[in-house]
Amino acid sequence: MSIRTGLSAAIDLTVSDADTAIAMRSGEVPVLATPRILALVEEATVRALDGHLDEGSSTVGMRVQLEHISPTAIGGVVRAEANLEKVEGRRLLFHVSARDERGLVAAGKVTRVVVDVDRFMEKAH
């Protein structure tokens, strides 16, 4: 396992009707939904770890702290970024943010935990 602080990744999204609060049933306005931002920043955390986990290992989400600061309309482009700030044993703490052409859209922290996939799935059944 070669996990170290400083690992990072960015994901871009052009907001479509499917990404809105209306489509996600999290609101009644046609702007980027908070749950979609969360999924986007989590995708960035996973991508930051690509190639750095042992065979048979993965990570799972444990904790999310996210502030959704500004709306993004359909057609807007959002870039989600994740930066690994701290490694505490199996716990990985990422700083995450999302920005559009107007500035900061969301910011927060995501904690993921490294798991053995087989053992983790045994607990799910």
Domain ranges of the chain: 8-124
Report whether pLDDT(53) > 80. yes
The predicted pLDDT at position 1 comes to 67
3-state secondary structure of 46: helix
- Domain boundaries 8-124, corresponding CATH code: 3.10.129.10
Average pLDDT of 15-19?
98
The beta-carbon contacts of 24-30 under 8 Å, at least 24 apart in sequence, are: 29/71, 30/73, 30/74
The model's pLDDT over 105-123, given as tens digits with 9 standing for 90+, comes to 999 999 999 999 999 999 9
Q: How much is the pTM?
A: 0.94
Locus of tokens 């799935």: 121
Summary count for the chain: helices (H), strands (E): 3, 5
Report whether pLDDT(102) > 90. yes
3-state secondary structure of 6: coil
